[in-house]
Amino acid sequence: MQDPAEAERLDLPPNAKVAFLTQTTLSVDDAEAIVAVLRKRYPQIVGPSKDDICYATQNRQEAVKDLVTESDVVLVLGSRNSSKQHSPGGSIASRGKPAYLIDGWQEIADDWLTETRRLLITRGRVRRRRSSRSA
């Protein structure tokens, strides 16, 4: 599931045995919102005994949330063709900052940076590519 609306559309019998796990590439805030919907709809749901979003992902997301207030534009390095890439919007967009998902510098539009004084660059889930390490 990618968002709370998808959790709302889940059609299971009220007494179904239901469990959840969260995906490490999902933001902590997004995961909490989805789990809240699931817990409301299925009070019997069980989940992991501890947070299963990896610390590195969570730490990066928290750093972005802290730094976005000081930034004018956010660039998220990631791959649109990754099934695990989440949208750069989420918590960034909720703070009113424009955010763009890019695969590489070639995708940066000049008008994104015209009046930008502070640029925040972070990475999303990046598709691993084989490279020869040559320039």
- Give the residue from 73, 65, 50 showing the smallest Cα distance to 120: 73
Q: Does pLDDT of 88 surpass 90?
A: no
Which distant-in-sequence residues (6+ apart) come within 8 Å of 96 by Cβ? none
Write the pLDDT tens digit of every residue in 33-79: 999 999 999 999 998 866 556 666 667 777 888 888 888 988 888 77
Write the pLDDT tens digit of every residue in 125-134: 533 333 334 3
Q: Does pLDDT of 8 surpass 90?
A: yes
Give the per-residue pLDDT at 91: 52
Q: Sheet with 119-123: list strands edge to edge.
A: 99-102, 73-77, 119-123
Give me the mean pLDDT over the 85-107 stretch.
Answer: 70
